[in-house]
Amino acid sequence: MSIAVIDYGSGNLRSVEKAFEKLGFQAEITKDKAAIRGAKGVVLPGVGSFDAAIKELRAFGLETAIEEAIALGKPFLGICLGLQHLFETSEEGKEKGLGILKGKVKKFNFSDTPWSELSVPQMGWNRLLFRHRAPIFEGIEEGEMLYFAHSYYVVPEDEMAVATVTDYGIEYVSSVWKDNLFGIQFHPEKSGPMGLKIIENFGGLCK
CB contact at 8 A, 4 and 28: yes
206 is catalytic: no
Active-site residue, from 17, 92, 144, 187: 187
DSSP notation for 40-86: SEEEE---S-HHHHHHHHHHTTHHHHHHHHHHTT--EEEETHHHHTT
Q: Which domain holds residue 103?
A: 3-205
Q: What is the pLDDT of residue 8?
A: 84
80 is catalytic: yes
DSSP notation for 147-196: EEEESEEEEES-GGGEEEEEEESEEEEEEEEETTEEEESS-GGGSHHHHH
CATH number of 171's domain: 3.40.50.880
Active-site residue, from 17, 80, 85, 200: 80
CB atoms within 10 A of CB 29: 16
DSSP 3: E
pLDDT-flagged residues of the chain (< 50):
none
- Round to whole Å and give the CA distance between 128 and 10: 25
Average pLDDT of the chain, as a whole number: 95
Q: What is the pLDDT of residue 36?
A: 95
CB contact at 8 A, 188 and 82: no
Active-site residue, from 85, 189, 200, 206: 189
Q: What is the pLDDT of residue 10?
A: 67
Q: What is the pLDDT of residue 31?
A: 93
Domain count, the chain: 1
Q: What 3-state DSSP class applies to 121?
A: coil
The closest alpha carbon to 156, from 99, 101, 83, 115, belongs to 101
Element (H, E) at 103: strand 103-107
